[in-house]
A and B are shown apart, each in its own frame.
Chain A
Amino acid sequence: MSKETIEIEGCTQCGGTHTYTLEVERAVIIKMMTVSDMSERCRSVKVTRLFVCPVKKEQYQATFYLEDTSSSRIKDVSVVGLAGDASDD
């Protein structure tokens, strides 16, 4: 699992910008690289997730795109929390 950060501008609840941490689960496929794999272009995966505004404590949704390849397919994306958030106040 890899962690990525997402920046959401224009929160529908407070209008501010928030940064969240995402946990991306990928299926790693080990295979022999061929010429076509060398020139393979990344695929964009559209993901919609629910986020909680840290100011208003209300939910909103955001759509973003992640990239994967045939040897590293995205299986699941989950929202961990605010980026750099050490406490749950």
Chain B
Amino acid sequence: MIDDIDSNDGVMPSVKATEVSAVTPTNQAIYEAGKSMLIESVGIGREFCKFMIGTSMGAIPIYLALLKFVLPEEYVPTVRVGILSLVPAVLFLVAGIIFLIGYFPQQGVASLDIPAEIESERRTTVRRRQRIGITGFTVFCISVVAALLITGSMLRMPKENGYSDPSKNGTEQSHAADRAAHGS
């Protein structure tokens, strides 16, 4: 006979268990999943920020290269067009900086003897990284849309914006020369 080793010290139980069983395989799997979610929750936000730093910063040269590819070689943009076309690159940089802030190590104090403190620190960290991740991703999406819009509009750049077509200039000059020759 096994003695009950826990002494109640006169504590009257208010609840009685109705079903007692070994941990079912489903519950065990759910428990393990919950454990890994809890343990990985801090690292996942950090990994996402780390991945997005590379994506955001890498998008800057890609966008500039795309712009260079789309625009003609002799194109000289106006100040307004130049500033407008740099907006997506700046937004990618801002998104990258936001993700960098999320990836940056942060300081906190928690006593290992007090699980509540550890849980509080964990929640604070997860919430902070989630807010930063959402903000950074929003800025990233805006910059992608802006890049698409500006690149698309550059494809249909009208001639009046300082761009002169060399082949058409040659034709116009020859027509002018013909008119001058016929006139004289």
Contact = CB atoms under 8 A, between A and B. Distances in A.
B35 to A, nearest CB: 11
B109 interface: no
Contacts of A6: 13-17
A27 interface: no
Contacts, number: 86
Interface in A2-27: 4-12, 14-19, 22
Interface residues of A, number: 32
B167 interface: no
A26 B124 CA distance: 23
B19 A63 contact: yes
A84 B21 contact: no
A42 interface: no
- The SS class assigned to the A binding surface is strand
A65 B17 CA distance: 7
B9 A54 contact: no
Nearest to B11: A83
Interface in B4-25: 4-9, 11-24
Contact of B23 (A8, A14, A59, A83): A59
Given A50-B23, A54-B6, 15 more contacts: A5-B14, A6-B16, A8-B20, A9-B20, A11-B20, A12-B22, A16-B3, A16-B5, A18-B6, A55-B2, A61-B24, A62-B21, A66-B15, A84-B7, A84-B11
19 contacts: A4-B14, A6-B14, A7-B15, A7-B16, A9-B17, A18-B4, A19-B13, A22-B15, A48-B27, A54-B6, A59-B23, A62-B17, A62-B19, A62-B20, A62-B21, A63-B17, A63-B19, A65-B15, A82-B6
